[in-house]
């Protein structure tokens, strides 16, 4: 793994020497200590444990502070309070600044006063709360779908729905950069799984043409807005190929809702495509909608099956009433105040332009809400993030193995609440940090 740190051969050798010396200086084993665990019970041998330990040691040896799990002491949006300092924040999905809006918070508080903090059982077992149906009706209307069903987790929504709807005789095609939840759902289903090159509809069609007749149902899964690269698919083209090959099309709108389209309705509005061309709309409540959970919208027949049979709904507690109320309030505000979406898109477009003018690689970002700064080295990305943090700017590095080493990056999530001056200051700080590292 050390070969993937983006260091020269000499620097890698020096780092390995320092780590070996550090290990050699460890306190000798205590003869009175309990014997080591047997191999089958040694949790240090769990998958990824060794790599994690090495990354920690490397960070310490390189003098890079762990940038993850820093506690935020207030609402996290365009700004955040971390420790005792205020930061410009680019590590939040609070795209439209609705999390923390007094009207959203008031809706959640009113739901707590009436229903408490939990649904206390599965909805199938304990019955509905009015907020569940109201939120689902609003989400169905948003996608011009017949029905909708909400779940307690966005990640679990994809896992349980894909895993339940598809089976061993079926075929699932998904984008190579699909979210982990999509991949895990496909694995759970037991279906034949094929990943096609990112945003390559032609490659997806070639796979469908070659494989479709050998399988029962076929499902194509794409995302409306890819969270690692900030780009978008050609929805019309994917919808057309799904029809040609008798396949279902599922679109994950987790980072699309509130970000794409003139009123934030997502990729269909952005692309000018009839939402009915998509069979399964999936989305999350934890980003623009300021709650927590996921949803599926589509035809009534689909939602009826899920309501009575999908494990992640039937065997899970229902969505907490205050979260349902907060998400409904946020959705209503998004639609009533489209100027929030316009500000977000303006900010993202501006940040993208400034970053490119400063010579940064921003990949294929569409400049709608997410802009990566691709640095090509995990060490460089970690050091850049640390340098920015020292300047009061919080952005998370995305390192190997989450992305290939040559694609290590800083990932900027923009907000409608960032100011033009703040964006310019951030790009200037990026350029200064880059130049100092290169010196």
- How many angstroms separate the first and last alpha carbons of the chain? 27
Beta bridge partners of 86: 81
Handedness of CA 100, 106, 107, 113 (dihedral sign): positive
- Residue 355: closest CA among 374, 377, 342, 340: 374
Q: Which of the residues 79, 179, 215, 255 is marked catalytic?
A: 255
Tokens of 238: 């994917």
Q: Which of the residues 79, 143, 155, 287 is marked catalytic?
A: 287
Calculate the CA dihedral of residues 360, 255, 251, 183 and round it to 10 degrees. Answer: 80
Quick count: other Cβ atoms within 10 Å of Cβ 177? 18
Quick count: other Cβ atoms within 10 Å of Cβ 423? 23
Report in angstroms the alpha-carbon separations of 146 from 142, 279, 304, 392: 10, 11, 11, 47
Q: Which of the residues 153, 227, 290, 377 is marked catalytic?
A: 227
Q: Is there a catalytic annotation at residue 419? A: no
**By 3-state DSSP, what share of the chain in percent is helix, strand and coil, each rounded to 5?**
45, 15, 40
Q: Is there a catalytic annotation at residue 227? A: yes
Report the alpha-carbon distance of residue 288 to residue 427 in Å, rounded: 25
Q: Is there a catalytic annotation at residue 153? A: no
Angle between the 300-309 and 154-165 helix axes, to the nearest 10 degrees? 100
Report the alpha-carbon distance of residue 249 to residue 221 in Å, rounded: 6
Q: In degrees rounded to 5, what are phi and psi of residue 156?
A: -65, -25
- Residue 135: closest CA among 150, 124, 123: 150
Q: Please list the active-site residues.
A: 227, 255, 287
């Amino acid at each position: 793994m050390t070969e993937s740190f983006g260091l020269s051969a000499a620097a890698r050798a020096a780092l390995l020497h320092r780590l070996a010396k550090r290990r050699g200086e460890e306190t000798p084993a205590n003869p009175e200590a309990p014997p080591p665990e047997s191999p089958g019970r040694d949790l240090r041998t769990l998958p990824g444990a060794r790599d994690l330990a090495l990354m920690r040691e490397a960070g310490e040896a390189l003098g890079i502070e762990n940038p993850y799990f820093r506690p935020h002491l207030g609402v996290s949006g365009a700004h955040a309070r971390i420790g005792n300092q205020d930061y410009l924040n680019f590590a939040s999905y609070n795209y439209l600044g609705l999390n923390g809006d007094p009207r959203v918070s008031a809706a959640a508080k009113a739901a707590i006063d009436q229903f408490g903090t939990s649904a206390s059982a599965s909805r199938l077992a304990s019955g509905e709360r009015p907020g569940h149906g109201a939120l689902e009706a609003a989400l169905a209307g948003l996608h011009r779908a017949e029905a909708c069903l909400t779940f307690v987790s966005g990640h679990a929504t994809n896992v349980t729905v894909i895993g339940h709807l598809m089976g061993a005789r079926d075929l699932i095609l998904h984008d190579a950069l699909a979210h982990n939840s999509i991949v895990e759902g496909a694995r759970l289903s037991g279906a034949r799984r094929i990943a096609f090159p990112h945003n390559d509809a032609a490659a997806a069609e070639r796979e469908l043409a070659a494989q479709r007749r050998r399988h029962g149902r076929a499902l194509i899964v794409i995302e409306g807005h890819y969270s690692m690269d900030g780009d978008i698919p050609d929805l019309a083209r994917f919808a057309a190929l799904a029809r040609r090959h008798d396949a279902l099309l599922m679109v994950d709108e987790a980072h699309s809702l509130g970000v794409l389209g003139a009123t934030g309705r997502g990729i269909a509005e952005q692309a000018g495509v009839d939402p009915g061309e998509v069979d399964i709309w999936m989305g999350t409540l934890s980003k623009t909608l300021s709650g927590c959970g996921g949803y599926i919208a589509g035809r009534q027949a689909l939602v009826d099956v899920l309501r009575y049979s999908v494990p992640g709904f039937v065997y899970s507690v229902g969505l907490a009433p205050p979260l349902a109320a907060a998400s409904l309030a946020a959705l209503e505000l998004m639609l009533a105040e489209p100027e929030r979406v316009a500000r977000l898109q303006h900010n993202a477009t501006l940040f993208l332009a400034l970053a490119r003018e400063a010579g940064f690689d921003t990949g294929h970002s569409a400049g709608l809400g997410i802009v990566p700064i691709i640095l090509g080295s995990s060490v460089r990305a970690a050091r850049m993030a640390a340098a920015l943090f020292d300047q009061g700017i919080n952005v998370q590095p995305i390192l190997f193995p989450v992305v290939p080493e040559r694609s290590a990056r800083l990932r900027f999530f923009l907000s409608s609440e960032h100011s033009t001056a703040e964006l310019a200051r951030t790009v200037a700080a990026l350029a200064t940090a880059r130049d100092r590292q290169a010196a």
